[in-house]
């Protein structure tokens, strides 16, 4: 049997058991140490990336979920909703959002927040992408320099998305309007049929008599806004009834549904400087009113009417020869309880730039010129502008044979021009006068006299005297007819023999001529016998001619035997 081999001695530098255990212990704890370091680094990174916690106030938490809903700006996540709770009075919700540190600089008093969700407005459709991704909160940091900038952690969310973002270039303007019509936030601003901006908001002025409308015009269209630019309300549909028929005016379908504002600048004012940001303008009711606002010179006048001015309103045109030269500014009733001096005072403004040059306006004398024209028959007439709607206008015309009148200047500098009835009022006055004249005709007396006359005629025609006269006349006519028949029967043979008698006379004349010829040779050409014979032949010839004419006349007019030739001539 073999003996066991003795153990191999260990090297002198081989670690002992204690040293080996210590080394093994250090390697095991290195892994958790590294894990702790990684965790600490991640925690540090999370803490370093963590921004402030803000509170947003909304009317409703519709579409919002704690731990899921994000706060974004230009599709980049800047925070997450941490919690949602009702306010103490339960009137709104408070949304706590943990923001990232990179959003800290944007959390100022200028920042705006709103919930992006699907929206269908009259102007546009937005937020359709949230149908898939869900609603989120959008952050708009605001425009730098638009106001004082201070850090803020409490915000009131917007109910609707703002019309203009802070990063969109352009300018904002303020419009003063007496009425806003169909305007609302998001209504388009139109320049020559092109949408160039939007209505931001509107609010009532402190005096309650007007409205303040804020609009935004994008670049580069803001360079078309000058000091002399005119804005007007282009909402709805405009209808014109003129000589060219019915014309409809519509800026766009969006303007019809959501209202619109249009603007333009006169051609001679487009070289003026561009209006700066936040400039103020007046918003006119329509395009015609805005165009008339370009006339800077206005002359105040006043007139009065004794009758009704129904249909005449403030803003009605003042025309002369069919051309508008002014506008009505006030219509006021002056009532006299006694009824002696009740009248309507109408004030209007004339715009001489419509008909005169600038040099003529600078040198004119309104009162003297008006007095001269009034002395030549200038009068203010109330005319009908539209027979369908009953609208009225003022007309300045020279009236022939106008009663004497004069123009004068009132204490407030207004010039008085006499007015007369015109249009339908003149026609109505004429009809009234005609009716009054017809009313003065004694129709009752005429009817009575006519009835008396007809009764007398009836009595006369039905009396015995007329019947007896008619009977006598009938008998006389019968006798005349019988006489005509007898004359016709007796004269007919005579008329038949007249041609034969004429031929016999002609033969006798021929024989007498032969006799004269024979005696001429016996008795000489200048004897007394020949002269007597010549005279006798002439007389016989005339007699034969008369008989022939009588025969021809009686053949054509046998009734001449009764009436005579003079009676026939008188009938002709």
Q: For the ranges 7-11, 65-69, 227-231, which has the lowest average pLDDT?
A: 7-11
pLDDT score, position 122 = 47
Residue-wise pLDDT tens digits, 128-153: 555 556 789 999 887 665 556 788 88
Is the pLDDT reported for residue 244 higher than 50? no
Evaluate the omega torsion of the peptide bond into residue 412 and state whether it is cis, within 30 degrees of 0.
no
- Tell me the C-alpha distance between 344 and 306, whole Å: 6
3-state secondary structure of 234: coil
Helix (H) or strand (E) holding 445: helix 443-461
Give the C-alpha separation, 404 to 25, whole Å.
130
pLDDT of residue 572: 45
Look-up: residue for tokens 């395009």? 287
**With 50 as the cut, is the pLDDT of residue 267 above it?**
yes
Query: Does the pLDDT of residue 346 top 90, yes or no?
Result: yes
> What pLDDT is stored for residue 1 in this prediction?
47
> 374-404 pLDDT, tens per residue?
888 889 988 888 777 778 889 888 888 888 8
pLDDT given at position 255: 57
Q: What percent of the chain has pLDDT over 90?
A: 13
pLDDT (mean) for 179-207: 85
Q: Which residues pair with 112 in a beta bridge?
A: 140
Instruction: Decide if 299 contacts 415 (C-beta within 8 A).
Output: yes
- Mean pLDDT over residues 30-46, rounded? 73
pLDDT (mean) for 429-446: 70
More confident position, 333 or 481: 333
What average pLDDT is seen over the chain? Answer: 76
CB 26 within 8 A of CB 126: no
| CB contact at 8 A, 534 and 526 | no
At 30 the pLDDT is 73
Report the pLDDT averaged over residues 80-87: 92
Mean pLDDT on 178-204 = 85
Domain coordinates in residue numbering, the chain: 48-156, 170-292, 299-437, 464-571
Query: At 94, is the pLDDT very low, low, confident or very high (cuts 50, 70, 90)?
Result: very high
Per the document, the length of the chain is 572
In the prediction, which pLDDT does 295 show? 73
| 538-543: long-range contacts, CB 8 A cutoff, minimum separation 24 | 540/505, 540/508, 540/509, 540/512, 541/509, 543/505
> Using 50, 70 and 90 to split pLDDT, how confident is the model at 462?
low
Which pLDDT band holds residue 80 (cuts at 50, 70, 90)?
A: very high
- From the centroid of its chain, how far is CA 378? 28
Q: How far apart are CA 407 and CA 59, in angstroms?
A: 65
If one compares 209 and 414, the residue with the highest pLDDT of the two is 414
What integer pLDDT is reported at residue 243 of this predicted model? 41
pTM over 0.75: no
């Amino acid at each position: 049997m073999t003996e066991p081999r003795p153990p191999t001695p260990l090297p002198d530098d081989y670690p002992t058991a204690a040293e080996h255990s210590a080394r093994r212990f250090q390697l095991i704890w290195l892994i958790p140490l590294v894990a702790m370091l990684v965790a600490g680094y991640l925690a540090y990174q999370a803490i370093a990336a963590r921004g402030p916690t803000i509170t947003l106030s909304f009317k409703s938490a519709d579409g919002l979920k704690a731990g899921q809903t994000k706060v974004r700006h230009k599709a980049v996540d800047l925070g997450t909703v941490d919690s949602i709770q009702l306010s103490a009075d339960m009137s709104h919700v408070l949304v706590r959002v943990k923001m990232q540190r990179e959003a800290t600089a944007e959390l100022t008093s200028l920042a705006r927040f709103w919930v992006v969700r699907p929206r269908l407005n009259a102007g546009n459709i937005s937020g359709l992408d949230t149908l898939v991704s869900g609603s989120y909160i959008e952050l708009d940091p605001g425009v730098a320099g638009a106001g004082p900038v201070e850090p803020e952690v409490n915000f009131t969310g917007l109910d609707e998305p703002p019309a203009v973002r802070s990063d969109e270039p352009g300018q904002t303007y303020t419009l003063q309007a007496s009425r806003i019509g169909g305007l609302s936030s998001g209504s388009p601003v139109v320049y020559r049929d092109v949408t160039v901006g939007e209505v931001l908001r509107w609010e009532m002025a402190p005096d309650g008599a007007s409205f303040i409308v804020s609009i935004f015009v994008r670049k580069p269209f803001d360079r078309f806004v000058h000091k002399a630019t005119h804005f007007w309300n282009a909402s709805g549909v405009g209808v014109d009834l003129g000589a060219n028929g019915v014309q409809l005016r519509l800026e766009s379908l969006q303007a019809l549904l959501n209202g619109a504002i249009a603007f333009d600048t006169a051609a001679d004012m487009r070289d003026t400087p561009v209006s700066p940001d936040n400039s103020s303008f007046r918003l006119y009711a329509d395009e015609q009113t805005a165009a008339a606002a370009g006339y800077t010179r206005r002359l105040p006048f006043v007139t009065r009417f004794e009758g009704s001015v129904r249909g005449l309103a403030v803003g009605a045109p003042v025309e002369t020869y069919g051309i508008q030269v002014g506008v009505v500014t006030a219509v006021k009733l002056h009532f006299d309880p006694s009824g002696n001096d009740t009248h309507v005072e109408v004030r209007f403004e004339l715009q001489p730039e419509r008909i005169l040059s600038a040099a003529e306006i600078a040198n004119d004398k309104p009162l003297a010129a008006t007095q001269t024209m009034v002395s030549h028959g200038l009068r203010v007439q109330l005319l009908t502008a539209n027979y369908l709607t009953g609208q009225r206008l003022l007309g300045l015309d020279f009236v022939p044979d106008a009663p004497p009148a004069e123009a004068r200047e009132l204490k407030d500098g207004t010039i008085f021009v006499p007015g007369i009835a015109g249009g339908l009022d003149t026609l109505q006055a004429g009809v009234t006068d005609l009716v009054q004249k017809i009313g003065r005709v004694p129709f009752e007396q005429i009817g009575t006299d006519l009835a008396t006359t007809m009764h007398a005629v009836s009595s006369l025609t039905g009396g015995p005297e007329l019947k007896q006269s008619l009977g006598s006349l009938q008998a006389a006519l019968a006798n005349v007819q019988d006489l005509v028949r007898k004359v016709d029967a007796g004269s007919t043979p005579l008329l038949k023999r007249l041609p034969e008698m004429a031929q016999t006379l002609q033969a006798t004349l021929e024989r007498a001529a032969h006799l004269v010829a024979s005696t001429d040779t016996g008795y000489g050409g200048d004897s007394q016998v020949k002269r007597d014979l010549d005279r006798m032949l002439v007389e016989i010839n005339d007699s034969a001619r008369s008989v022939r004419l009588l025969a021809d006349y009686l053949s054509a007019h046998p009734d001449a035997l009764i009436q005579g030739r003079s009676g026939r001539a008188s009938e002709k």
